[in-house]
Structure 1
Amino acid sequence: MSNEELRKQLTENLDEAEWEWLIPHVKRDAVIVVAKELDLLDVGEAIASDKVSEVQVWIEEAFITKPSNEQMGEWNNQREKRFNALIVEPYVLIQEKMAEAS
């Protein structure tokens, strides 16, 4: 699959998810939190393409992490909290949605 085809497929898989829907994936240790500084599609593409060195840098710089106990506690109190979500088997990449200006 070309990078262009992969990007198109990932774009089609990009969606919103409420925290409540993500809990089963957290329980199977499959959720990865992507910092707002990164583009969710770029991260998904790097993981799907096995770009290990690129992903490793993001891990080392804490731009991609597993959800912390603190984050999960906060999100458990706001189960309707929404995230941008992207499935890149076997992972679910999530990125907090920014509060919308009213």
Structure 2
Amino acid sequence: MSEQAEQREILKAKLNQETAKASWQELQPFFARGQTVYVAPELDLIEVALAFSEDEAEMIALWRDKAQVDKVTDEQAAAWFAADKGLWTVVLPPWVLVQPESVQ
């Protein structure tokens, strides 16, 4: 394994350990500051976090074009607040990536 691949795996493991569930109410201060980023449920939250941490602008732009990654909208925030929604989160300062829990 190359050193770059090894570093990526270490970062991926670190991000995985930092992933946590939070209620939307807990995330309100970050939303108010424009720091919450929606990640669609069909995406791997850790892979998206890796793309952000490695500044993979092309990949992020592709996801944005497909409406799979973008700043949380007022409509999303209102719906999550009303539903007391739980979300998976990863903090990558200044961003907090949020992903609705999948309904199995």
Fold shared per TM-score above 0.5:
yes
Q: What root-mean-square deviation, in Å, do the aligned CA atoms of Structure 1 and Structure 2 show?
A: 1.3
CA deviations over 1:8-67 (Å, ceiling 9, x no partner): 110110000001100000011000000011100000001001111111111111110112
Q: Aligned partners of 2:74, 2:35: CA distance in 1, in Å? A: 15
Scaled by the length of structure 2, the TM-score of the pair is: 0.88
Q: Which residue of 1 aligns with 2:89?
A: 85
Q: Which residue of 2 aligns with 1:94?
A: 98
Match of 2:35 among 30, 33, 38: 30
| Residue type at the aligned position of 2:103 | A
Q: What 5-or-longer segments of structure 1 have no aligned partner?
A: none
Runs of 4+ in 1 over 4 A off after TM superposition: none
- CA shift, 1:5, in A, is 1.2
- CA shift, 1:78, in A, is 2.5
Match of 1:42 among 34, 47, 51: 47
CA deviations over 1:68-91 (Å, ceiling 9, x no partner): 222111122133x20010111110
Q: Aligned partners of 1:40, 1:64: CA distance in 2, in Å? A: 10
Identity of aligned residues (%): 28
Q: What 5-or-longer segments of structure 2 have no aligned partner?
A: none
Q: Give the paired residue count.
A: 99
Deviates more, 1:65-74 or 1:30-39: 65-74
Scaled by the length of structure 1, the TM-score of the pair is: 0.90
| Residue type at the aligned position of 1:74 | A
Q: Aligned partners of 1:98, 1:7: CA distance in 2, in Å? A: 21
